[in-house]
């Protein structure tokens, strides 16, 4: 539901790029206030930052390579102001989704958590992208599309988010942080 609301929010305000950035930044502040005193704050904010910065570079690469184009940007820009905030908030949505399902399903093994991460990374970001692409926020160029999203882009989203997951598993293990989302046990 959050992904659908986010997709519709981006659609509603994408031509007001700066306002959308401020609104997403406001949501980031709300998330910060909510998370800052939780036991998982450090690893959570690390994931948020990695996603925002990594997303920034991924977007620049995709735009410069001609793989996609954002519409209705002012001043000849090709990069929307709001993108890094959207990438950070995407981590938030995935983290909360995975934390909830790990708790509900009592997942503990690396295999089960990896399966959940792959599923969530393929499904949730793609739903938001389908909404945004089909409402004219941006256009993908390339073959073999599903509802406007090239299959290769879905693969890259899964690769990006799964890489963040694996990096945070390593950080969680190395620094013995005990975060249940990134705590991996063998069978």
**Nearest to residue 132, comparing CAs of 54, 57, 70?**
70
Q: Which of 81 and 7 is assigned the larger pLDDT?
A: 81
Q: Cα–Cα distance between 23 and 132 in angstroms, integer?
A: 17
**Tens digit of each residue's pLDDT (9 = 90 or more) over 91-105:** 999 999 999 999 999
- CB-CB contact of 80 with 17 (8 Å): yes
- CB-CB contact of 161 with 130 (8 Å): no
pTM of the model: 0.93
**Nearest to residue 85, comparing CAs of 164, 2, 18?**
18
Give pLDDT, residue 185.
Answer: 76
Give pLDDT, residue 12.
Answer: 85
**Tens digit of each residue's pLDDT (9 = 90 or more) over 102-115:** 999 999 998 999 99
Q: Cα–Cα distance between 59 and 55 in angstroms, integer?
A: 6
**Confidence check: pLDDT of 3 > 70:** no
Predicted confidence band of residue 52 (pLDDT cuts 50, 70, 90)? very high
- CB-CB contact of 109 with 187 (8 Å): yes
174, 95, 136, 25: CA torsion to nearest 10 = -80
**Confidence check: pLDDT of 54 > 90:** yes
Q: For the residues 63-90, what does the mean pLDDT come to?
A: 94
Specify the residue for token string 């709001």: 82
Q: Cα–Cα distance between 3 and 124 in angstroms, integer?
A: 7
Q: Which of 44 and 2 is assigned the larger pLDDT?
A: 44
Q: For the residues 71-95, what does the mean pLDDT come to?
A: 94
Q: Residue 44 is encoded by which pair of tokens?
A: 């959570």
Quote the percentage of the chain above a pLDDT of 70.
Answer: 97
Give pLDDT, residue 5.
Answer: 75
Tell me what the pLDDT averaged over the chain comes to: 92
Q: Cα–Cα distance between 52 and 77 in angstroms, integer?
A: 19
Q: For the residues 141-160, what does the mean pLDDT come to?
A: 96
Predicted confidence band of residue 187 (pLDDT cuts 50, 70, 90)? low
């Amino acid at each position: 539901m959050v992904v659908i609301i986010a997709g519709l929010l981006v659609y509603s305000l994408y031509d007001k790029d700066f306002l959308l950035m401020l609104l997403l930044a406001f949501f980031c502040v709300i998330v910060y206030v909510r998370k800052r005193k939780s036991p998982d704050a450090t690893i959570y904010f690390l994931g948020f930052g990695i996603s925002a910065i990594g997303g920034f570079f991924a977007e620049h690469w995709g735009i410069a390579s001609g793989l996609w184009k954002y519409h209705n940007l002012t001043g000849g820009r090709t990069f929307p102001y709001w993108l890094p905030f959207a990438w950070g908030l995407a981590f938030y949505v995935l983290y909360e989704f995975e934390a909830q399902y790990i708790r509900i399903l009592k997942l503990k093994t690396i295999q089960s958590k990896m399966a959940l991460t792959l599923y969530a990374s393929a499904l949730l970001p793609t739903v938001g992208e389908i909404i945004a692409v089909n409402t004219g926020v941006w256009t993908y160029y390339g073959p073999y599309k599903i509802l406007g999203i090239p299959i290769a882009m879905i693969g890259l989203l899964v690769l990006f988010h799964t890489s963040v997951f694996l990096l945070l598993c390593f950080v969680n293990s190395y620094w013995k942080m005990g975060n249940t989302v990134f705590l991996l046990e063998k069978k």
